[in-house]
Amino acid sequence: DAGITQSPRHKVTETGTPVTLRCHQTENHRYMYWYRQDPGHGLRLIHYSYGVKDTDKGEVSDGYSVSRSKTEDFLLTLESATSSQTSVYFCAISEGSGRSAGELFFGEGSRLTVL
């Protein structure tokens, strides 16, 4: 199994507070992704990274920022959490090229509740 660790796995916070979710990989994969999973929407891409300090927006990036200072770590920050950001967040990694292009390996998810 791919070595991907998400932390925290569960978090309850209040509206307006900052929240940071961490994704750590031991596979040295180039690409890292943050998705959110919501009923009726499947998985939607928030942000992705294609290298250290190289990040870009996905389809639902408003209210989120990311940082990648090391190959193995990809942080997702909610500067001021809102109730609409209550969701399950998944980190994924990918080699991103060759025969395995498009194959994603997922972490176990972080369940965030914003009250």
Interface residues toward another protein, by CB under 8 A: 4, 31, 33, 40-43, 45, 48, 50, 56, 90, 92, 94, 96-97, 99, 101-109
The pair of three-digit structure tokens given for residue 59, joined into one six-digit string:
């389809």
Tell me the closest approach of the beta carbon of residue 80 to another protein, in angstroms: 27
Tell me the closest approach of the beta carbon of residue 16 to another protein, in angstroms: 29
Q: Are 45 and 31 in contact (CB under 8 A)?
A: no
What CA–CA distance (Å, rounded) separates 22 from 24?
A: 7
Q: Which is nearer to another protein, 29 or 85 (CB)?
A: 29
Tell me the closest approach of the beta carbon of residue 97 to another protein, in angstroms: 8
